[in-house]
Amino acid sequence: MPSIRPPVSRRPGWRALRPRGAGSAFAAVALTAVLAVTATACGPTEDDANPNPGVSAGGQGGRDISLPDLDERLKELGIDLDKWKNGEWKDWNRDDWLREAGDFVNPIIEDLWKPERMGEAEEPQKTVPEDVSGDQGVTDPEPQPVQAKGVETPYHENAAPVGKVFFDGPKGSMVCSATVVKDPANPGKSNLVWTAGHCVHAGKDGGWYRNIAFVPSFNDNGVPDSQLKNTPREELMPYGVYWANWASTSKQWISEGSATGGNGAPYDYAVLHVKPEKGSGGKSLEETVGAALPVDFNAPAVNSIESMGAWGYPAAPPYDGAKMFSCVDKPGRLSLSSSQPTMYRIGCTMTGGSSGGGWFANGSDGKPALVSNTSIGPVTATWLAGPHLGPEAKGMFDEVSRKFAGE
């Protein structure tokens, strides 16, 4: 797979390949335990699945202050909220496609993301050439493919922080994967979600995507794609839909990111601050799903990491985006340019749609943490690569955390 970005018309023939040895299987058990809900977690309840209707527009805080702030911000950008919610968001005129970091707006449009519409969302595609030998001496041998394995259901018990991101672009609805992460400014009450930059912004050829929403534990019981339309909403979206009321990605992705060739990939990461579409009873996303992963911006060197796992919802053939999968492997290094940071690379057969999904390993303190996210891979779907999260990523993350401190 490795995908990332707006859909493309050409779809390669994906092939299933054999997994690596028993060491990876052992590591998979350990990493899976990390994602399981802890004793303090709470599973989905009827109230969580069907919350009372609440605020109907995005903003910076609660109902009383968010609507005026949002209206004012939209007016500054020449956007009429009512017209926007009634379909004006579908206008992707280049001159009106908001591009800079401060331009992000994402008003909630209630019930826009219905199950049928979610099912129509395409995986974004971001691939690199099969030959990446121009590595300047810092690329390790290509890993053997690791066959992605289905995550045990229900997902809210076995991979609580993982979910899907839905969003709209000029070519239609798209889907990525994402992870609930801890917020240092709001301990135990995080509303932050980590994903890939190409899942929120089009890079050098465009601007911010629209109608960005996160669904934790999507399709909780892992029913086949053919049955999704008949699946009860509380099983398809056990915690409801969370809309991004803020998104941030790297300046490098905005200036360099592209759909193919790997441009911007070493900086292909993003963080969302989200709020529920329909009330949450005052609980944060972390409290609602019962788990969140810390982000490690100073992970150990590749050669000292025994295993690293990637989680996500692959959607390009032979997968269909309905179920969650994971790959675990010992990481290697991948360099696309001597002037940019080296990336992590693991063997994995996941395809498009898993983009943005979290990569987990023991961090610098020896404890499990999110250390990367799926960014790119070859059309042969034999490996995935993700950025090393350094100072630039930490600065982006800390800025969003401070922005919503105490909320």
pLDDT in tens, the chain (407 residues): 333 333 222 222 222 222 233 344 445 555 655 566 443 334 444 333 333 322 222 233 333 233 346 777 788 888 899 999 999 999 998 888 999 878 899 999 999 999 889 988 887 755 555 555 554 558 899 999 999 999 999 999 999 999 999 999 999 999 999 999 999 999 999 999 999 999 999 999 899 999 999 999 999 999 999 998 889 999 999 999 999 999 999 999 999 998 777 889 999 999 999 999 987 678 999 999 999 999 999 988 888 899 999 999 999 999 999 999 999 999 999 998 888 899 999 999 999 999 999 999 988 888 899 999 999 998 889 999 999 999 999 999 999 999 999 87
Beta strands 377-378; 127-128: pairing state? parallel
Task: Give every CB contact of residue 63 below 8 A, 6+ residues apart in sequence.
Answer: 54, 55
First to last CA, the chain: 37
- CA dist 168 to 68, 123, 277, Å? 25, 11, 17
- CA dist 345 to 114, 127, 302, 364, Å? 35, 14, 9, 19
Whole-number Å distance between alpha carbons of 4 and 148: 18
* pTM for this prediction: 0.85
What's the mean per-residue pLDDT of the chain? 82
pLDDT (tens digit per residue) in 35-58: 664 433 344 443 333 333 222 222
Task: Tell me the two tokens of residue 209.
Answer: 């995507």
Class for the domain spanning 22-42+108-403: mainly beta
Task: Tell me the two tokens of residue 49.
Answer: 């699945």
Domain ranges of the chain: 22-42+108-403
Instruction: Output the furthest CA–CA distance in the chain (Å, rounded).
Output: 58
Q: What is the dihedral of CA 375, 6, 12, 311, to 10 degrees?
A: 40
Nearest C-alpha neighbor of 364 from the set 310, 266, 294? 294
CA 169 distance to own-chain centroid: 16
Residue environment code for 364-394, b if the CB has 16+ CB neighbours within 10 A, otherwise e: eeeebbbbbbbbbbbbbbbbbbbbbbeebbe
DSSP 56-69: -S--SSSHHHHHHH
User: How many Cα neighbours within 13 Å face the side chain of 45?
Assistant: 11
Residue 385 and residue 2 in contact, taking contact as beta carbons nearer than 8 Å = yes
Nearest C-alpha neighbor of 365 from the set 295, 282, 284, 274? 295
pLDDT (tens digit per residue) in 77-119: 888 999 999 999 999 988 889 998 788 999 999 999 998 899 8
Whole-number Å distance between alpha carbons of 366 and 368: 7
- CA dist 129 to 196, 260, 377, Å? 20, 8, 9
Whose tokens are 């759909």? That residue is 259
